Structure 1
């Protein structure tokens, strides 16, 4: 595999972009220079889409064992280069070693699931209401898929779409986030190039949103746009795609609740909350945003939780003992600090942390939070735990559903049935009983409700998103069209 990533990958060639601008790739922890990339222009984007379309026509008809062999070889390449990929995730996205290793592991599982798709392109033969007719339904690739990958889990959230699209017979153009051009895009160009993927099927364009952001959606070639990111940007993509009658798979923001009922095992809930809140500095769409605790156990939970948060190590993500690394940039830290201050003015109390050095924000715990405070209303995307007390189950359900997001969540109770019944009442695409909110399994439907997105990733649900179906009616004997064609 390559180790130097400073060029785009279009039509099987590593090339400079034609834009006048450049992308300066830097380590978010220490600012170290990771390389400069000459950005893609609209001309480059068009070349990428044209290349994908041309290559896809043959790939769509390729034998399933050939597609599977490419996917399986790509898996082996990732397995053999895990430490190099982990190193890139640490230095490019600010991932701790623990997070980066976990991200590569789940990415491998997603790729293995995708390797099964060529043999799961199932069709159906259905009866007809017309005499002598047979109805056949075929599952086919869409054609070309445009993928816009995020910076927080760049490797995994890119590959779950890239691998799915390729395995189902599509061509691909990827635009990674400018913070993570390597781990969100260029690494895959090298992986699949080495795996023997035909030239032109996978293209990676590193460019600024202001220059090619709209065009990757509105270009006439792609039939599906897969995007993971903020709800604000997702709305824009949805509008542009809708105007051009394109499909979208959108995994957007979350305001995920972690609910501790009065009969919960407090120690178990604390451990779950610790992981679900602070894993990757809370920069995960599924991260816990609001910790809601029944008033009768609130103080016990807070004391136990704060005690555990104090044990977390903050600092250089390259050190294996580090739990909390940097936010992706200083703007994120400043945004979160503003929400903390505004919430304090409304009555919330910071009982731990609340300070930052550059973009390294200390793990923070706030109590006295209410659902209308900025730290509860807004997606935090950082290492701040906002704890809300509630009186009873009815209030907890109301508070959980009050905001317009519905991605993930969790509920803790010593009664599995009570916890499950409560989970049914929370308006969210995913929720977990006696666990935390950050879960992703490659065979389970991943996606949200309300402002958290459209569609589902993973397993059979991804097959629905990245393919289409065609009805072919077969008339086996001459059809009688009745009086319409009677001879006069």
Structure 2
């Protein structure tokens, strides 16, 4: 795999420099080494990419559905052939560990395999009519062209989560990855589908600076859908901009997930699950457990074991097989986390464990005695920082869990499964898991958030629904009796 080539734009099937005068150095967040350098795309490049996707979509329409399936399955084969190289890029570009890379690559392969079934599931209906001799045909057709904007944390998967289903449903795609992860979130995906055999121009990747292109990616007249994964603040703006321009927004946004531990839970298992739910990929996952809610009767035992477990996590070089916590993605994220920790302590939180900061490497921090009015309880902690909150009753736990503007994921731990399910029903969140992790994503199960955690559902039949539209064609086999 040619890393140098992946430092280009991929527009209309060609690997070339962007037309902007601005250069972007793609930096390894652990050691600051330059992985590659991009000549960025400008507004004209974005226009060319959308035009190419629209034109190629017409060619894609003519491809036999079984051939489309084979092409998407070829993408999985390419990933499997190059899995070690992809793992290496994840470690270097994201600061992800080998464990994280394996997890992400597995998710990617599964979502492509599911998307490969979409060409064979573009089913329509024939419906009766209130009018004699009329037949109503309902066709499921591609939406057209989809614009995808992806984040830096799980860029390979969170790009592919929209790209593969959009292609499988018959659309053209233009993908804009985050500037911190242009390979894993962008150009690698272009390369995968180029090698898989999609028509030239069907997928395009533009690496651009938002300060230069402004709203052009969303406002362009060609895309019918804008799929955005990222922060709630930016997602709100993009959603409003999409609606203003009569495009459908799909928004997968921030989270503030509650991990609830009831008094009858298996404490040791809950400790391990809470640790994984918070500190996987440095806590840079929208589904990560931001708040650990523990019933008071077991609070002391849980927090003691939890602190011991978290303190044992190795922080350092993501290429070291022993490392669990690598660097956060950039200096801005590191500084924001430091500021949030200090603000939480100033508001009354007790640092049960307070890690040192070495540039982008943050040792884990546990803040205890947190109350719902503290900033650390209300904000998404996108890093190796977690709050522990005691509660007396189930009702109090539900109130605390729901005291947030977010509603993405969650978990409940208890030895009584139905008790856990009944509690889970009362938490206002798109997803919640009993005796499991807050971090869950399966290719055929509806994924999405409530409140300010997003709009829409992806995976399985829901992705097929989101990336297609319905067209009604009626056929009159006779003639209407007209009143005039």
TM-score interval (norm. to shorter): over 0.9
Deviations 1:100-157 (A, max 9, x none): 1110111111111111110011111111111111111110001100000110000000
Alpha-carbon distance in 1 for matches of 2:411, 2:62: 43
Map of 1:238 onto structure 2: 239
Contact 1:410 1:432 in 2 (8 A): yes
Map of 2:405 onto structure 1: 404
Map of 1:417 onto structure 2: 418
1:79-228 matches, cutoff 5 A: 79-228=80-229
What TM-score comes out, normalization by structure 2 length? Answer: 0.98
SS, match of residue 428 in structure 1: coil
1:417-456 matches, cutoff 5 A: 417-456=418-457
What TM-score comes out, normalization by structure 1 length? Answer: 0.98
Contact 1:164 1:466 in 2 (8 A): yes
Map of 2:42 onto structure 1: 41
SS, match of residue 471 in structure 2: strand
Map of 2:476 onto structure 1: 475
SS, match of residue 406 in structure 1: coil
Shift of 1:60: 2.1
Deviations 1:264-292 (A, max 9, x none): 11111111101000000000000001111
Alpha-carbon distance in 2 for matches of 1:74, 1:255: 34
Shift of 1:2: 3.1
Map of 1:289 onto structure 2: 290
Map of 2:344 onto structure 1: 343
Alpha-carbon distance in 2 for matches of 1:110, 1:195: 15
Unpaired stretches in structure 2, ≥5 consecutive residues: none
Matched, 1:7 2:12: no
Alpha-carbon distance in 2 for matches of 1:394, 1:333: 35
SS, match of residue 347 in structure 1: coil
SS, match of residue 407 in structure 1: coil
SS, match of residue 23 in structure 1: strand
Map of 1:59 onto structure 2: 60
SS, match of residue 35 in structure 2: strand
Alpha-carbon distance in 2 for matches of 1:371, 1:213: 37
Contact 1:337 1:354 in 2 (8 A): no
Matched, 1:391 2:392: yes
Contact 1:340 1:354 in 2 (8 A): no
Aligned length: 483
Deviations 1:152-173 (A, max 9, x none): 0000001111111111110010
Alpha-carbon distance in 1 for matches of 2:93, 2:424: 37
Map of 1:273 onto structure 2: 274
Alpha-carbon distance in 2 for matches of 1:10, 1:332: 31
Unpaired stretches in structure 1, ≥5 consecutive residues: none
Contact 1:2 1:190 in 2 (8 A): no
Shift of 1:213: 4.5
Shift of 1:337: 1.4
Alpha-carbon distance in 2 for matches of 1:140, 1:63: 14
Contact 1:336 1:382 in 2 (8 A): yes
Map of 2:259 onto structure 1: 258
Q: Which moved more, 1:297-306 or 1:350-359?
A: 350-359
Shift of 1:355: 2.3
SS, match of residue 332 in structure 2: helix
Alpha-carbon distance in 1 for matches of 2:355, 2:312: 16
Contact 2:53 2:201 in 1 (8 A): yes
SS, match of residue 147 in structure 1: strand
Shift of 1:473: 1.3
Shift of the 77–213 alpha-carbon distance from structure 1 to 2, 3 Å rule, reads farther
Alpha-carbon distance in 1 for matches of 2:412, 2:42: 47
Contact 1:351 1:366 in 2 (8 A): yes
SS, match of residue 7 in structure 2: coil
Map of 2:327 onto structure 1: 326
Shift of 1:63: 1.1
Contact 2:3 2:36 in 1 (8 A): no
Alpha-carbon distance in 2 for matches of 1:307, 1:393: 26
Shift of 1:436: 1.3
Map of 1:78 onto structure 2: 79
SS, match of residue 137 in structure 2: strand
Shift of 1:46: 0.3
Matched, 1:353 2:354: yes
Alpha-carbon distance in 1 for matches of 2:346, 2:96: 32
Contact 1:29 1:94 in 2 (8 A): yes
What is the RMSD computed on CA atoms of the aligned residues? 0.9
